[in-house]
Amino acid sequence: MELKKSIGKKTLLMLTINAILGTGIFFLPAIGALYSGSSSILAWVIMSGFAILISLYFAELISLFPQSGGAYGFIKNAFGKSTGFVFGWLSWIVANITIGMLIVGSIRYLFPEASAISSMGLAVFFILFFNFVNYHGIDWSSKLLLFFGIMTIITLTALIVPGLFTINTANFSDVLIAPIPMVLLTVYFISETFFGWETTTYLSEEIKDARKVLPKILVLATALIALISFLIVFVALGNLDIAAFASHPAPLEFLADNLFGSSMGQIFALVIFIPLVGTAASWIVSSPRLLYAMSRDKMLVPIFSKVHKKYRSPHTAIAFQTIVTTIITIIAFGSYMFLLSLLIPLVIIMYTFVMLSVVKLRIDLPKEKRYFNAPFPKTGPFVVIAFNLMLLYMWLTQVNDAVYVFLMGVILVFIGAPLYIVIRLQTDKKFVERFYDKISFIWDSAFKVWFGRDETERIMKHLRLKKKSTVLDFGCGSGNTTLALSEAASDGNVVAVDVSRKQIRNAIKKVKNFQLPNVIFVKGDKKFPRGSFDAVTGVGVLEHLDNPHAYLVQLIKSLRKRGKFYFLSFGETFLIPGPEFLSNNKKIRDLFKDMKVEIHIKREKKRLTEYIHIYGVKK
């Protein structure tokens, strides 16, 4: 079942503005003024120009690939699945940090003196409410986000229009005084105001005619955001004492106080809260679509790709995102500036690879139909990359603890590596072969942590092989089970099969060392004639098969009547979930549906791993 396409042009424009503006426009003008005073207006002009340029390249990419994956999809199509996963995972980390930052910023703006417990309670309420709306489909969600988008425009316009008539031009007399490094550092911090193009692209599959409509909306929305941002900063710097503005915890409330009086300023604090928390809603609505896209591509567990039959929303991804968002937001309280510092370098790295994707796809797909063609496709992206890297360098060299924060971000990205390996081992046969070829030199020793004498004896006890038995060791690896099978069926034959050439070589060495002549090695997953074997084993194999049922049909067919089978599989390992088909006994039994077998399933947990023993007899 597909996601529902119901987002039109006007709604999309408001959604995009709301998603991109974020808390940035409500906090970052003051942070910019803190670093470079009135010269920060130059930083906003510079960043606006580059933001519009970046939006042009996002527009081209989304016209080429109008799917829910956003930056993940672009990079995957340009550089392959492995790189795509890294940046899909990075995008998801960015989304979680952003949501935490938005919720923290919103509540801090409205309730600066509130206790931590009451603030957290309010935060959890909003998270649950927005996800409840999200669960009920894109129609509900888009209406809610449309309201927030309109409120964002109204709130900022209500400050800009009267503020333009009270500008004190003397406040800009020293606009060119700030050192260039400080202006660039200001650009670095205010850049978060324009982050979020990928957020809207996550909704691509729910937008009417996304390939043609979304590119133009991205560029138009960015241009409007650039104009609004410049005007609000111009009004703030032109009306306020810059030092006081820079140090104020709620800078636009301070501006409202100045323009309308303190009583109106308090009302504006409440009004400002609405678009602030609305931006969090945008990310909460869009982020599960990334999980949905990655799961559909077999980059994450399959359950995230499920679509609700009634609401046509990715409901399992939404449920998971709700849990993660709640945890991150609670941890994040009181840490807005830290989250901002953690977020920006990750986004810069992500956008750098998005820009490289533009160039790579122009080279790889020169004739592919593009409904939007960005200017300077082979040089402009490198200008953006050079600019991004310069900003990153300025931050790393000018700000205390920047390197420490950057390394924390890198660690968050690499945490995804084990998950990626597990998922690919469950879904990609070629990846399985390459993976075990590369780790064959250490796998034999490492695997003994999970599979030793006790497990081998348990298998052999069930099989009860005779000396003349013929046995299939499916997925023999480096031969740990093969040796035991060969010794038990000393006058018979053992056919040992594996996809990894190097693993087979290691197994051959073991067999030669023990002088066991009755083993035949086969590379690949060859089908064997019906009734070929007295027994079939497979240790740590089922979880690597993309279609386990099809393989089991062939393996059971290859057994003789009353032949025995024993599959030892590993489920959740170090908190990383196993394949969905191993999640419960009913699903495992369904794999053997319509096969004439007597099957037994036993589960046990040890060594931080779930062992799943699947054994039985062919009737």
Q: Is residue 304 part of a domain?
A: yes
Q: Is residue 27 part of a domain?
A: yes
| Cβ atoms of residues 195 and 22 within 8 Å | yes
Average pLDDT for 231-235: 94
- Picking from 281, 242, 247, the residue whose alpha carbon sits closest to that of residue 40 is 242
Coil, strand or helix: which one is 546? Answer: coil
228 and 105 share a domain? yes
432 and 403 share a domain? no
Q: Diameter of the chain by CA atoms?
A: 99
Query: Which pLDDT value is given to residue 52?
Result: 95
46-73 pLDDT per residue, tens: 999 999 999 999 999 999 988 878 888 9
240-251 pLDDT per residue, tens: 999 999 988 888
Residue where a domain stops, chosen among 385, 414, 443: 414
Give percent of the chain above pLDDT 90.
38
Whose tokens are 């600019």? That residue is: 387
407 and 529 share a domain? no
538 — pLDDT class (breaks 50, 70, 90) = very high
Residue where a domain stops, chosen among 357, 384, 414: 414
Q: Is residue 337 part of a domain?
A: yes
Instruction: Please state, in angstroms and rounded to a whole number, the distance separating the CA atoms of residues 278 and 147.
Output: 8
Rounded to two decimals, the pTM is 0.79
User: Domain span at residue 246?
Assistant: 9-414
Of 212-221, 262-271, 337-346, 432-441, the one with minimum mean pLDDT is 262-271
Instruction: Please give the residue that has the higher pLDDT: either 234 or 122.
Output: 234
Evaluate if residue 18 carries a pLDDT over 90.
no
Count of structural domains, the chain: 2
Coil, strand or helix: which one is 618? Answer: strand
Average pLDDT for 386-394: 92
Evaluate if residue 265 carries a pLDDT over 70.
no
CA distances to 347, 408, 410 from 413, rounded to whole Å, are: 12, 9, 5
401 and 434 share a domain? no
396 and 436 share a domain? no
Q: Is residue 135 part of a domain?
A: yes
154-158, 243-247, 472-476, 569-573 — most confident range: 472-476
Q: Is residue 442 part of a domain?
A: yes
Across the chain, what does the average pLDDT equal? Answer: 87
Query: Which pLDDT value is given to residue 334?
Result: 60
Q: Is residue 2 part of a domain?
A: no
| Cβ atoms of residues 300 and 291 within 8 Å | yes
- Cross-strand pairs, 362: none
| Cβ atoms of residues 278 and 152 within 8 Å | yes
> What number of other Cβ atoms are within 10 A of residue 527's Cβ?
12
Joined together, the tokens standing for residue 445 give 């020793």
Instruction: Please state, in angstroms and rounded to a whole number, the distance separating the CA atoms of residues 35 and 486.
Output: 73
474 and 608 share a domain? yes
Q: Is residue 422 part of a domain?
A: no
449 and 351 share a domain? no
397 and 525 share a domain? no
Evaluate if residue 559 carries a pLDDT over 90.
yes
CATH code, 574 = 3.40.50.150
Instruction: Please state, in angstroms and rounded to a whole number, the distance separating the CA atoms of residues 330 and 93.
Output: 16
CATH code, 299 = 1.20.1740.10
Contacts (Cβ under 8 Å, ≥6 apart) of 582: 542, 543, 569, 571, 588, 612
Instruction: Please state, in angstroms and rounded to a whole number, the distance separating the CA atoms of residues 547 and 519.
Output: 27
- Picking from 158, 151, 157, 48, the residue whose alpha carbon sits closest to that of residue 106 is 151
Evaluate if residue 414 carries a pLDDT over 90.
no
253 and 391 share a domain? yes
Amino acid at 610: E
Whose tokens are 């699903």? That residue is: 587
Q: Is residue 1 part of a domain?
A: no
Contacts (Cβ under 8 Å, ≥6 apart) of 295: 301, 302, 303, 304, 305, 317
Contacts (Cβ under 8 Å, ≥6 apart) of 578: 422, 426, 543, 569, 570, 571, 572, 610, 612
504-527 pLDDT per residue, tens: 998 999 888 888 889 999 998 778
Query: Which pLDDT value is given to residue 23?
Result: 64
22 — pLDDT class (breaks 50, 70, 90) = low
Residue where a domain stops, chosen among 414, 449, 483: 414
Instruction: Please give the residue that has the higher pLDDT: either 545 or 470.
Output: 470
Amino acid at 260: F
Query: Which pLDDT value is given to residue 539?
Result: 94
497 and 530 share a domain? yes
318 and 442 share a domain? no
354 and 434 share a domain? no
